Structure 1
Amino acid sequence: MKIGVFTVLFGSKSFEETLDYLAERGVESIEIGTGGYVGNAHCNPGELLQAPERIKEFKKAVDARNMTISALSCHGNPLHPQKELARAFQDDIVKSVQLAEKLEIPVVVTFSGLPGDHEDAKYPNWPVSPWPNDFQEVHAWQWENKVIPYWTAMGKFAEQHNVKFALEPHGGFSVHSPATLLKLRKEVGEVVGANLDPSHMWWQGIDPVQAIRILGNEGAIYHFHAKDTAIDPVNVNRFGLTDMQSYSDMLSRAWMFRTVGYGHDLKVWSDIISALRLVGYDGAISIEHEDGLMSIDEGLGKAVYNLKQVLIKEPLGEMWWV
């Protein structure tokens, strides 16, 4: 396993400045934003695809620092009912897949997307209750008419370019849990797997260790985010886990994102890393910094320090005691 970082938090720095900053802190792998909600400050696929020599320079800059690229990430909603928005997200995904092939990166991270509740809808609709029965009808319509057809087509496209999708299970999207990820994977095939982010498991009431076992037993974990969540034991009883307050209302929110080790202790994180090893995941542990109580430098530094204590890096040896 390698300590990685999702570089979008350094959008104000140049790509090479970012690489130097991370290399100095012992980071071994990077996940790069290529569009969608996270932007493409360090990597614009449309521009690079038009200039093959720049692709070589891009890769050389990473190789020169003994780093790897774990994934290209373009988190967006290609199923958005507003067609112009959907097309923009779709374009980012297509170009990210094409660039990933050129860079020999096997994984593109994104969201499953979320449709509206009918063809003329304006906004996405996230049904999470089986009653009233209207929600069941919306859910069935979305999956049968939008989610499965879209990802079936995109799966075939990705396979043509030797790339797999690591969809991030995330509240507010059709794929938001291990079950919904596996539901889509059953329809589309192994070209679809998970970018598992434990922070989004915790705030939905899902144990990340069990999520790893569920998805890992199916060989369905293609990428991993290292981000923590702290649940406030008082506020959660007032607002519930589906708290709609702004992330900036940290004093009153039911939960907030934290850097690694500040929502759950290192025993929990060692259990997470061990579970990943148990199911055969040996890729990047990509830090995603979204801690509102810490600066980027401090939050990232603490995440790297804490992960170094629990990360399992060496190959498995022979069990001499067996």
Structure 2
Amino acid sequence: MKLGVFAVLLAQKPLEEALDYIKAQGLDAVEIGTGGYPGNAHCNPEALLADESKLKAFKQAVDSRGLTISALSCHGNPLHPQKAISGDHDKVLRQTIELASKLGVPVVNTFSGCPGDHEDAKYPNWPVAPWPNDYQEILDWQWTNKVIPYWSEIGKLATESNVKIGLELHGGFSVHTPATMLRLREAAGEAIGANLDPSHMWWQGIDPVQAVQVLGRAGAIHHFHAKDTSIDPVNVHKHGVTDMQSYAQMLDRAWQFRTVGFGHDMKTWADIISALRLVGYDYVVSIEHEDGLMSVDEGFSKAVENLKQVLIREPLGEMWWV
């Protein structure tokens, strides 16, 4: 396995300065945002695709530092009912797939998106209860008319481009659990898989080790984010796991994102890394920093220190004791 970072936490730094900072931390890989919610501070796919010299310089900046690009990421909502939003996110996704193909980057990360509840809807509708039955009808309409057709098309494009799509399982979107991931994969093809982030499993009440087992046995883990979550033992009984308070309300929220090791102990993280190895995932563990209690430098550095303790780097040798 290799250790990397989602470089959007360094968006305020120029690309080469950010890469130097990442290299100095002893990392092997970088995940780079290309638009959508993460922005494109370090990589504008439209500009790079239009200018071969810019594309070459971009690649050289990464290669010259001995780093690899684990994924290009354009997390967005290409199913948003407002065409101005979905159209922009769809365009960026397609450009990112093309750019990844040119660069030899194997994975493009994004969200599945979430449609509205009818053709003239203005906002996404995320059904999470089977009753009243209206919610089941909305869910069936979304998957039949929007989710499966769109991702079947994108899955075909990705396959033709020799790129895999890593959908982050995230609340608020149609694909947010291992089950919804596998449902879409079955319908849209094996190019569609997970960018598995354990932080979003914990707050939904899902054990990430079991999520790794479920998805890994299906060969459906294309990329992995390293981010932690802490559950407040008092507030969760007041607000529940679907707490709608701002992430900034940290004292009152039911749960909050933490850097690796500050939500769960290193034995838990060792179990996650071991589960990844067990199911055959031997790619990049990409740090994502969204800890409201720590600066970027401190949160990132502590995640690096903690993960270096448990990351399994060397290839599996022969079982000489068998």
TM score, norm. by length of structure 2: 0.99
Partner of 1:277: 277
Partner of 1:115: 115
Q: Could you tell me how far apart the structure 2 residues matched to 1:194 and 1:52 are?
A: 31
Partner of 1:176: 176
Using the TM superposition, give the Cα deviation of residue 140 of structure 1 relative to its aligned residue in structure 2, in angstroms: 0.2
How many percent identity over aligned positions? 69
Using the TM superposition, give the Cα deviation of residue 12 of structure 1 relative to its aligned residue in structure 2, in angstroms: 0.9
Q: Could you tell me how far apart the structure 1 residues matched to 2:155 and 2:52 are?
A: 25
SS of the counterpart of 1:230?
A: strand
RMSD of the alignment, in Å? 0.5
**In structure 1, what residue type is equivalent to 2:3?**
I
SS of the counterpart of 1:224?
A: strand
Q: Could you tell me how far apart the structure 2 residues matched to 1:192 and 1:234 are?
A: 38
**In structure 1, what residue type is equivalent to 2:89?**
F
Q: Could you tell me how far apart the structure 2 residues matched to 1:235 and 1:35 are?
A: 34
SS of the counterpart of 1:37?
A: coil
Partner of 1:152: 152
Partner of 1:220: 220
Query: For residues 112-261 of structure 1, what are the structure 2 equivalents within 5 Å?
Result: 112-261=112-261
Partner of 1:15: 15
Q: Deviation string for 1:32-85 (max 9, x for gaps)?
A: 000100000000000000011221111111111111000000000000000111
**In structure 1, what residue type is equivalent to 2:59?**
K
Runs of at least 5 residues in structure 1 that lack an aligned partner in the other structure: none
Q: Deviation string for 1:122-154 (max 9, x for gaps)?
A: 000000110000000000000000000000111
Q: Could you tell me how far apart the structure 2 residues matched to 1:224 and 1:300 are?
A: 16
Q: Deviation string for 1:91-116 (max 9, x for gaps)?
A: 11010000001100011000000000
Q: Could you tell me how far apart the structure 1 residues matched to 2:87 and 2:298 are?
A: 37
Partner of 2:265: 265
Q: Could you tell me how far apart the structure 2 residues matched to 1:191 and 1:311 are?
A: 26
Partner of 2:67: 67
Q: Which runs of 4+ in 1 moved over 2 A?
A: none
Q: Could you tell me how far apart the structure 2 residues matched to 1:316 and 1:305 are?
A: 23
Partner of 1:50: 50
**In structure 1, what residue type is equivalent to 2:296?**
I
- Equivalent pairs, count: 322
Runs of at least 5 residues in structure 2 that lack an aligned partner in the other structure: none
Q: Could you tell me how far apart the structure 2 residues matched to 1:191 and 1:315 are?
A: 25
User: Which shows bigger deviation, 99-108 or 48-57?
Assistant: 48-57
**In structure 2, what residue type is equivalent to 1:212?**
V
SS of the counterpart of 2:37?
A: helix
